[in-house]
Structure 1
Amino acid sequence: MSEESIKYGQATIAEMTGGIILAQFKKLPCAHDPSYQSEAELERDLIQNLNAQGYESFKAGSNQDLYANVRVQLERLNGVTFTDKEWDRFLLEYLDAPNDGMVEKTRKVQEDHIYDFTFDDGRVKNIQIIDKKNIHNNFLQVTHQVTQTGKHQNRYDVTILVNGLPLVHIELKKRGVNLHEAFNQVHRYSKESFNIDNSLYKYVQIFVISNGTYTRYFANTTAQNKNHYEFTCEWADAKNKAIRDLEDFTKTFFEKRVLLEVLTKYCVFDVNDTLLIMRPYQIAATERILWKIRSSYETKKAGRPEAGGFIWHTTGSGKTLTSFKAARLATGLDFIDKVFFVVDRKDLDYQTMKEYQRFQPDSVNGSKDTKELKRSIEKKDNRIVVTTIQKLNEFVKKNPGHEIYDKQCVLIYDECHRSQFGDAQKNIRKSFKKYYQFGFTGTPIFPENSLGGETTSGVFGAQLHSYVITDAIRDGKVLKFKVDYNNIKAQFRGAEREEDEKKLKKLENKMLLHPERIAEIVKYILRVFDTKTHRNDFYDLKHRRLNGFNAMFAVQSVEAAKLYYEEFEKQQACLPPEKRLKVATIYSFAANEEQRAIGEIADENFDVSAMDSTAKEFLDKVIADYNGYFKSNFSTNGNDFQNYYKDLSLKVKQKQVDLLIVVGMFLTGFDAPTLNTLFVDKNLRYHGLIQAFSRTNRILNKVKTFGNIVCFRDLEKATRDAIKTFGDENSVNIILEKTYDEYMHGFKDEETGKATRGYIDICNELVAKFPEPTEIELEADKKEFVQLFGELLRSENILRNFDEFENFEKIITDRQMQDMRSVYVDIRESLIRPRPGGGSGGEEVDFSDVEFEIDLLKTDEINLDYILALILEKSKENEDIDSLKAEVRRVIRSSLGTRAKEDLIMDFINATRLSELKNTDDILESFYKFARREKEAKIQILVDEEKLKDDSKRFIERAISKGYVDYAGDELDRILPPTSRRQGAREKKKESVLDKIRKIVEVFIGI
């Protein structure tokens, strides 16, 4: 072991396997310099540590230096020498192709890293920009303070060059500064200069942010839903212990082999052109599987349970990505003949199917036809086979004695809890002789929840790696659960509390499906739906379906699904159209098989023909309603039902379905981050309960703070039992949210000892210290106000999920709250865009440790409908026009979403005879007509002024529709007029146009 390995505790598993994730990281105590460390000193120490680890320092004073260096490094890597002419052509054809955006550059690193280049003498040679087969051939350099000019001139902190390409960028802040500052700065650079023409920084794959004390990494991606701070990740050892300090992070993550393996093996560029970087626990699990295959082969254990094992990674932690990556990497083992990646088609949604079918067409369709599977197995150049467990079972039955059974085969089961005890799995296991079998599950079967004695470890072998729900919550990778137990009517309480399965069956029709109970539950759901899903925070007559979250309703049986669906139809018929929810349902035939584990959710399949005629007839009606909603043409015939399933999963992910009623389908494996609420009228237990609850706890943004669970049966004991089984005795406090009283009055976290102030105390302090927030002048007071108001926003965002909060008597008046919001946004904008002439004088105050809760501010947006209604109301009260305008301006400025629309709304007031508008419909119609005319005029002025090409109007309209300008691809370049590239003229033109389009989008988004 090297001296460095001894010093930093790189132990056992890493040595045995060649893995990059440490089995246990222990930094020996050493004397830290207690003196103040500036950002420059942090940067200097980082570079010195990287130099000590074998990185060569490279001084890049300009962009030209980077291009000169990448030429040297690529010539070295490929053993060639380019003439100047050849190099210019290589840049033009491949490395720096015109109109290549960040997505195209990422594809080059991840998929197309070898280019067939024809030299001037006619020779054709493969030129690679990164060597993925022998990673030690790649050359690593570190550079710092590179200056690049786009919209602004930016200087970047530290960049890692791989063969001259900047593949990793590190943004530093001094200790004590909020890490969000570094994250936000990276995104500013992305908008201002990283992605300008002729910028090698488009090749960046990984961003690292650090303030010395805390360090995180994340992928460089254009995906809007992956660009939140919540998607950054901490590095960790194999036991999930976070490695946060920059020095420790550098010694591990930036160890040359580790970084190169992360870049070449543990990145995924998915079907939506989104770059994902695997998290430490995903890498650790993959490495353990590869180690197990290799060691089992060497000890000749193939064909026995001990040749494999299972991975216990909690729901929502990305098991499918991990298992698929493990399967792909297993094909690289030279002694393995075939790798089978086996999924259960009932766990697949539209997105996952697209991923698999990109790799292997028709691999996971619902057909039982095994001809394609047989061809795939027999193809010599096809090392990996992606299939469903149903199709593989069919192949085994139809092809006894096939030669594949005697080959060295790896079988990897995704979501193995669904299929581990079935006949299909046993048939497959009996047929293959030299197999290495691995299962992934978020909810293993243990002796305490097994009915037949079979357990996950009994079928798959030892547990190889775990990342349980408490790990994921601690790391911020999944959310806690807030569980309510609601007794709607006292007369049904006894039945709702019953736990005995036999007694429950008798009570089901008589009590639990009683029409009065069904009606009351539906009435309750309709009443609380907007609050639970945050719809009321964004309420907008015209655009409400673009906002908030959506929900699922788990019910006991097909009959229950039918009764609830019909009751929703009945009660919603009395509501105005804009208040109605889009309700959908799906169910199919569930064979009455003996349960193998307590809490197992009945396994529905796609065989609709096996259902009784009443259930099938109702399903036809449900699908007809769906077709009416979405202008589709699905039915219950053959594969058409599976297409309905796929389309429904997509519509739920896109928030086009408000409430989905399910019996068993979608309660396991389905991943929709937009879901935040699960209503439950079903007897959930153990792994079934955790699986169902976990549909709601995917991270999305700051507004989504936990998964909302609303139970109409008393599942309190079942919930605690499940949590203790899949966590430990102390897990309940970690996994479940605090109570309403605790959030109102404050509490102390038992695990961390950190105190959280109550909402009442925060409100009282704000009112006492800042009764007139618009009069705050001193910078120190502004900082205190911002910190207090941010605390209020965080607290209120959680409390609005509690029913009791609706009736809370406000401490801060609506008027005060509007003023506070307005001042909060003003302070933030003054920091981002300082006004000419400076601030208010006095001592300068450092705001770098303050995080502005802008996402939370948006959860209580004053929207256009509200403002227009206010204009109508004030005009009817005959309020003089100046007073009306002043009131409307005050309201507009309190809202982030409408601030940009201030001039538009004032122009509308000036141009309209308000006295002629009789009602809400009149003012809505009048305003939107006016706004559309203004939008068309503004777009035309921009097109004329900038001489944009014909397609520019469509590009701008699309940007308004999406709510942002997509500048990462080549569309923006295509609408620009011919412009010289000398001295960055074209880039300046592009930035100027981009800025103007953004301003139009800000004003007209939602119109």
Structure 2
Amino acid sequence: MSEKIINYNTATIAEMTNGIILANFKRDLSARESSYQSEGDLERKMIDNLVSQGYEFIKTRTSEDLYRNLRLQIEKLNSLSFSDDEWKRFLVEYLDAPSDGMVEKTRKIQEDYIYDFTFDDGHLKNIKIIDKKNIHNNFLQVTNQVKGEGKSHNRYDVTILVNGLPLVHIELKKRGVNLHEAFNQIHRYSKESFNSDNSLYKFVQIFVISNGTYTRYFANTTAQNKNNYEFTCEWADAKNKVICDLEDFTRTFFEKRVVLEVLTKYCVFDVNNTLLIMRPYQIAATERILWKIRSSYEAKKFGRPEAGGFIWHTTGSGKTLTSFKAARLATNLDFIDKVFFVVDRKDLDYQTMKEYQRFQPDSVNGSKDTKELKKCIEKDDNRIVVTTIQKLNEFVKKNPNHEIYDKQCVLIYDECHRSQFGDAQKNIRKAFKKYYQFGFTGTPIFPENSLGGDTTAGIFGAQLHSYVITDAIRDGKVLKFKVDYNNIKPKFKSAEKEDDEKKLEKLEKKMLLHPERISEITKYILDVFDTKTHRNEFYDLKHRRLNGFNAMFAVQSVDAAKLYYEEFQRQQESLPEDKRLKVATIYSFAANEEQRAIGEISEENFDPSAMESSAKEFLDKVIDDYNGYFKTNFSTNGNEFQNYYKDLSLKVKDKQVDLLIVVGMFLTGFDAPTLNTLFVDKNLRYHGLIQAFSRTNRILNKVKTFGNIVCFRDLEKATKDAIKTFGDENSVNVILEKSYEEYINGFKDEETGKVQKGYIEICNELVSKFPDPTEIVLKADKKEFAELFGELLKSENILKNFDEFENFEKIISDRQMQDMKSVYVDIRESVLSSRGEGKSDEGIDFSDLEFQIDLLKTDEINLDYILSLILEKSKEHEDVESIKVEVRRVIRSSLGTRAKEELIMNFINSTKLSELKNTDDILESFYTFAKKEKSKKISDLIEDENLKDDSKRFIEKSISKGYVDYAGDELDRILPPTSRRHGAREKKKESVLDKIRKIVEVFVGI
């Protein structure tokens, strides 16, 4: 990998030495302690290192201590003194307003960090809580073991205070403890005490977790899809070498200038109120761009390719965030007159527009038409202009002598792929006399994959930074690909293997669009869809319970899209409504004429009027079907087609569309983390292949382990060639998943040398060591069982993606599996309970064990299944106790139904099962019983806790959502009047919250 980067790199990278990302980090092992380090030792050593780096250590143990120190620091930063009354008013009016939650605190740090405060004598002054213009004016302190508010009395390990505000919190575990432990502890703190009424910890922007050996950081965010361990980051140098040891991390990340710049420059608080912290490679790229602009300006090298460069960051690594931040920061350079952020017309979606309008309300107007773009350019207060390359080219043609061409302009291309290498790009470069041009790409065009055209370096200048697919897979930022090469019908094999362009064009209609082939491939997709997309498994996303993922189907031409769409409609006609896939398609003008038979994914035109009539008529029918699914009203007329594109994009991202058939659209630059499978009946090569495959490999959760690629053409050589072009000879092993045989029988990992047990070995070991898991007594046996069963869950989750696994003969029976799941959950609950109560594990340390709960949740047993089981067993025999034993086994094997155990047992005890004749009877009987129980439990809670009138509605709403909203003020509003002295109100709130949560767990879904 490194050789390729050197070939296409330049020596200029070495010239930049003043960034916060080190050019090349070297570890200093001479001063390291070699003796055993406890958690306390790690904490003391870290604080000593921070003090030696210029932090002040301050002993604060309580919330009151933090507030006292905060006042001193804010006074020092602003060179003033508050009276006691003024300080109280400053807190209530602004800094610590009673209605503030975490989002409001984050907004104060990221956006509203200066407040106009009126003092008692009437004079007005700007009060800063952080100085972003001169970061060295900010004062850094470190404290430890602060006692949290709330009933749990948590003690927080190490906290970094910036001007008295806790902006970074570090949670430490001793070496050897699983890092997930620290991650889970922070989330427990977030629920229990960080967000309590008078907690300054709502201001925390960054969390750091470490066990000494491994260290990671992540943003404090409420966004559920960003709130799992997969979204934590490692710190690294500019060559993407990871800095993971805590001492190294402290020396680099916590260098005062570095942590202050990360907080003040390299965070983005987006339109969804989600805090994003840039990763080291994103910061490195941004720094390189800003350095290149400055150095080119000083050397008067503007107006030529050498004044800029390109960033090679792999697809899925967050290029848009990096380019967005680079564009924003470039506007702060006083010699720059205008920054143009140039996007593909298809990428100018709701999200990009909203982000830029939030930053500068008029900046996106330039995307509407050339007239608006001209206005936007001529407004002096518009430092940034967001537009498309097509609109900018039109502007250049219509305004050949505009004054903007003589001004200092930065041009940042969000995605510099082949579509931006044409005449439009040349026209723009020719017009602007003092430009600095930068491009971002996940798949650069090198001489060997240029197919005779220009290269990325030829158009954009030198490569400034790289973060390639092997880096991203190693860091867990994108997933590997599992590629199947399928030959559905042997008689079409020769056509599917053909790679001669002229022959292939002739074979398309005769062989590859043959009705028999289209029918067989459609049938195959319908047969494997549930398995490939995990459709019968469940996970949580953005407070929604989703079943499985969705898929895309890339086809060669518009004709192919039409044939496949019609065939899916035909084959699904006989299926029940709830079993049918929601299939959509989109294509545009002349995609079949413009599309080369091999390789290139062409830019598609958004103007449907340019389509030939039959393609347009068919698209009208497709959009009518879509309108029927979603109660929308789109068409191919005027802007409606673009609105259809945008809505379809959102529906795919939201997993409301099961399968999307595409020709070229959506195969580049489209992000949908819920998409895990790409079916391919299209000849892809090089950058086009990697771009298309990369639609599937965005990280989401533990259930999504890789991107599934199912090829109906022989793309094996094309896949290997593409991987070698954007990696090296060994990259195939890094980028592609192992085979079915390797997962079943075991393999040796070539990267780590570690031997990975196969599924068969894991199953046999479990059955032989723990034939009856319910009889496990010793803690050591419980730990061994939990480790083995966790391996089984991970192995099974991967194997479910392979067609062959469907016919695998079970080693563990269904009943054994239920018992094992039940015991696994029991062990986890016991471990969590002993940790919560501060008990030791009697010599057996469970802290290095990670429970695979997300994977256990995928096989959730629903309530209807349990009720059907009760009915079935009651017909077999009338022994209620044995029915209860059988049903209990099923309930306890599923996390989602465990809380309902008592409710279901009470139902069995109070119901004459023999009188229930069919499923409808038992469902009606149970839901009537459960609703009465729910009403009673809510009424009892309201009476016992003396809650206010609106509490019934709040509890019902929480049950319907499936969780209790702790962050807002709704919970506060239903509490009875309670003194705030000695934390009494906070304790009351915690107690009520616990009781409501228990009711929600029991009655959610009923």
Q: Same fold (TM over 0.5)?
A: yes
State the AA in 2 paired with 1:980. S
State the AA in 2 paired with 1:873. E
Q: 5+ unaligned residues in a row in structure 1: which ranges? A: 1-10
Measured against aligned partners, the alpha-carbon deviations of 1:672-700 in whole angstroms (never above 9, x if no partner) come to: 11111111111111111111111110011
Equivalent residues in 2 for 1:815-830, closer than 5 Å: 815-830=815-830
> Does residue 252 of structure 2 align to residue 255 of structure 1?
no
SS of match in other structure, 1:438: strand
Greater shift, 745-754 or 24-33, is seen at 24-33
Given that residues 345 and 364 in structure 1 are in contact (C-alpha distance below 8 angstroms), is that contact kept between their aligned partners in structure 2?
Answer: no
**Alignment correspondent of 1:296:** 296
State the AA in 2 paired with 1:991. E
Deviation at 1:563, TM superposition (A): 1.5
**Alignment correspondent of 1:266:** 266
Measured against aligned partners, the alpha-carbon deviations of 1:810-855 in whole angstroms (never above 9, x if no partner) come to: 111111111111111001101111399999x995311111111111
Structure 1 residues 405 and 922: alpha-carbon distance in aligned structure 2, compared to 1, 3 A threshold:
farther
> Does residue 145 of structure 2 align to residue 126 of structure 1?
no
Deviation at 1:951, TM superposition (A): 4.4
Structure 1 Cα separation of the partners of residues 490 and 437 of structure 2:
51
**Alignment correspondent of 2:775:** 775
Structure 1 residues 501 and 976: alpha-carbon distance in aligned structure 2, compared to 1, 3 A threshold:
farther
Measured against aligned partners, the alpha-carbon deviations of 1:480-517 in whole angstroms (never above 9, x if no partner) come to: 00001111111211111111222222111222122221
Structure 2 Cα separation of the partners of residues 560 and 879 of structure 1:
59
**Alignment correspondent of 1:427:** 427
- Count of residue pairs brought into register by the alignment: 994
Structure 1 Cα separation of the partners of residues 872 and 437 of structure 2:
69
**Alignment correspondent of 2:181:** 181
Given that residues 90 and 117 in structure 1 are in contact (C-alpha distance below 8 angstroms), is that contact kept between their aligned partners in structure 2?
Answer: yes
**Alignment correspondent of 1:137:** 137
Structure 2 Cα separation of the partners of residues 413 and 801 of structure 1:
37
SS of match in other structure, 1:618: helix
Structure 2 Cα separation of the partners of residues 917 and 566 of structure 1:
45
**Alignment correspondent of 1:203:** 203
Structure 1 residues 539 and 12: alpha-carbon distance in aligned structure 2, compared to 1, 3 A threshold:
closer
Structure 1 Cα separation of the partners of residues 609 and 675 of structure 2:
31
Measured against aligned partners, the alpha-carbon deviations of 1:498-543 in whole angstroms (never above 9, x if no partner) come to: 1122222211122212222112112111111111111123499xx9
**Alignment correspondent of 2:955:** 956
Deviation at 1:874, TM superposition (A): 1.4
Given that residues 619 and 636 in structure 2 are in contact (C-alpha distance below 8 angstroms), is that contact kept between their aligned partners in structure 1?
Answer: yes
Equivalent residues in 2 for 1:704-853, closer than 5 Å: 704-834=704-834, 843-853=842-852
SS of match in other structure, 1:551: strand
Deviation at 1:288, TM superposition (A): 0.5
**Alignment correspondent of 2:642:** 642
**Alignment correspondent of 2:873:** 874
Equivalent residues in 2 for 1:504-519, closer than 5 Å: 504-519=504-519
Given that residues 103 and 968 in structure 1 are in contact (C-alpha distance below 8 angstroms), is that contact kept between their aligned partners in structure 2?
Answer: no
Structure 1 residues 723 and 923: alpha-carbon distance in aligned structure 2, compared to 1, 3 A threshold:
farther
SS of match in other structure, 1:721: helix
**Alignment correspondent of 1:6:** none
> Does residue 907 of structure 2 align to residue 900 of structure 1?
no
State the AA in 2 paired with 1:995. D
**Alignment correspondent of 2:6:** none
Given that residues 178 and 849 in structure 2 are in contact (C-alpha distance below 8 angstroms), is that contact kept between their aligned partners in structure 1?
Answer: yes
SS of match in other structure, 1:904: helix
Given that residues 16 and 288 in structure 2 are in contact (C-alpha distance below 8 angstroms), is that contact kept between their aligned partners in structure 1?
Answer: no
Given that residues 289 and 464 in structure 1 are in contact (C-alpha distance below 8 angstroms), is that contact kept between their aligned partners in structure 2?
Answer: yes
Structure 1 residues 601 and 926: alpha-carbon distance in aligned structure 2, compared to 1, 3 A threshold:
farther
Structure 2 Cα separation of the partners of residues 917 and 520 of structure 1:
45
Structure 1 residues 100 and 290: alpha-carbon distance in aligned structure 2, compared to 1, 3 A threshold:
same
**Alignment correspondent of 1:532:** 532
Structure 2 Cα separation of the partners of residues 104 and 685 of structure 1:
48
SS of match in other structure, 2:537: helix
Structure 1 Cα separation of the partners of residues 845 and 51 of structure 2:
33
Structure 1 residues 838 and 38: alpha-carbon distance in aligned structure 2, compared to 1, 3 A threshold:
closer
Structure 2 Cα separation of the partners of residues 935 and 842 of structure 1:
37
Deviation at 1:931, TM superposition (A): 3.5
Structure 1 residues 718 and 277: alpha-carbon distance in aligned structure 2, compared to 1, 3 A threshold:
same
> Does residue 860 of structure 2 align to residue 861 of structure 1?
yes
Measured on the aligned residues, the alpha-carbon RMSD in Å equals 2.3
**Alignment correspondent of 1:970:** 969
Deviation at 1:637, TM superposition (A): 1.4
Deviation at 1:429, TM superposition (A): 1.3
**Alignment correspondent of 1:305:** 305
Structure 1 Cα separation of the partners of residues 293 and 836 of structure 2:
65
> Does residue 438 of structure 2 align to residue 438 of structure 1?
yes
Given that residues 366 and 385 in structure 2 are in contact (C-alpha distance below 8 angstroms), is that contact kept between their aligned partners in structure 1?
Answer: no
> Does residue 356 of structure 2 align to residue 370 of structure 1?
no
Structure 1 Cα separation of the partners of residues 765 and 548 of structure 2:
30
Equivalent residues in 2 for 1:75-86, closer than 5 Å: 75-86=75-86
Structure 2 Cα separation of the partners of residues 923 and 681 of structure 1:
48
Structure 1 Cα separation of the partners of residues 119 and 1000 of structure 2:
46
Structure 1 residues 504 and 934: alpha-carbon distance in aligned structure 2, compared to 1, 3 A threshold:
farther
Given that residues 451 and 597 in structure 1 are in contact (C-alpha distance below 8 angstroms), is that contact kept between their aligned partners in structure 2?
Answer: no
Structure 1 residues 925 and 521: alpha-carbon distance in aligned structure 2, compared to 1, 3 A threshold:
farther
**Alignment correspondent of 1:481:** 481
Given that residues 513 and 560 in structure 1 are in contact (C-alpha distance below 8 angstroms), is that contact kept between their aligned partners in structure 2?
Answer: yes
Structure 1 Cα separation of the partners of residues 841 and 707 of structure 2:
46
> Does residue 170 of structure 2 align to residue 170 of structure 1?
yes
Deviation at 1:367, TM superposition (A): 6.3
**Alignment correspondent of 2:496:** 496
State the AA in 1 paired with 2:583. V
Given that residues 451 and 598 in structure 1 are in contact (C-alpha distance below 8 angstroms), is that contact kept between their aligned partners in structure 2?
Answer: no
SS of match in other structure, 1:271: coil
Greater shift, 280-289 or 346-355, is seen at 346-355
Greater shift, 602-611 or 31-40, is seen at 31-40
Measured against aligned partners, the alpha-carbon deviations of 1:396-451 in whole angstroms (never above 9, x if no partner) come to: 22222111110000000001115321222222111111000000010111111213
> Does residue 703 of structure 2 align to residue 675 of structure 1?
no
State the AA in 1 paired with 2:963. Y
> Does residue 483 of structure 2 align to residue 454 of structure 1?
no
Structure 2 Cα separation of the partners of residues 842 and 321 of structure 1:
45
State the AA in 1 paired with 2:270. D
Structure 1 residues 499 and 885: alpha-carbon distance in aligned structure 2, compared to 1, 3 A threshold:
same
Structure 1 residues 13 and 769: alpha-carbon distance in aligned structure 2, compared to 1, 3 A threshold:
same
Structure 2 Cα separation of the partners of residues 927 and 411 of structure 1:
65
**Alignment correspondent of 2:569:** 569
Structure 1 residues 56 and 870: alpha-carbon distance in aligned structure 2, compared to 1, 3 A threshold:
same
Given that residues 538 and 861 in structure 1 are in contact (C-alpha distance below 8 angstroms), is that contact kept between their aligned partners in structure 2?
Answer: yes
Measured against aligned partners, the alpha-carbon deviations of 1:210-260 in whole angstroms (never above 9, x if no partner) come to: 111100000000111111111110000000000000000000000000000
**Alignment correspondent of 2:998:** 999
Deviation at 1:861, TM superposition (A): 2.0
Given that residues 539 and 858 in structure 2 are in contact (C-alpha distance below 8 angstroms), is that contact kept between their aligned partners in structure 1?
Answer: no
Given that residues 539 and 545 in structure 2 are in contact (C-alpha distance below 8 angstroms), is that contact kept between their aligned partners in structure 1?
Answer: no
Deviation at 1:18, TM superposition (A): 2.4
**Alignment correspondent of 1:8:** none
**Alignment correspondent of 2:347:** 347
Deviation at 1:927, TM superposition (A): 3.6
SS of match in other structure, 1:665: coil
Deviation at 1:719, TM superposition (A): 0.7
Greater shift, 870-879 or 676-685, is seen at 870-879
State the AA in 2 paired with 1:887. E
State the AA in 2 paired with 1:225. N
Structure 1 residues 734 and 836: alpha-carbon distance in aligned structure 2, compared to 1, 3 A threshold:
closer
Deviation at 1:714, TM superposition (A): 1.1
Structure 1 residues 882 and 79: alpha-carbon distance in aligned structure 2, compared to 1, 3 A threshold:
same
Deviation at 1:953, TM superposition (A): 4.1
Greater shift, 354-363 or 183-192, is seen at 354-363
Structure 1 residues 548 and 837: alpha-carbon distance in aligned structure 2, compared to 1, 3 A threshold:
closer
**Alignment correspondent of 1:989:** 988
**Alignment correspondent of 1:383:** 383
Structure 1 residues 460 and 842: alpha-carbon distance in aligned structure 2, compared to 1, 3 A threshold:
closer
Deviation at 1:349, TM superposition (A): 4.0
User: Percent identity of the aligned residues?
Assistant: 85
Q: 5+ unaligned residues in a row in structure 2: which ranges? A: 1-10
Deviation at 1:965, TM superposition (A): 2.3
Structure 1 Cα separation of the partners of residues 118 and 544 of structure 2:
56
Structure 2 Cα separation of the partners of residues 593 and 295 of structure 1:
45
Given that residues 552 and 677 in structure 1 are in contact (C-alpha distance below 8 angstroms), is that contact kept between their aligned partners in structure 2?
Answer: yes
Deviation at 1:649, TM superposition (A): 1.3
**Alignment correspondent of 2:38:** 38
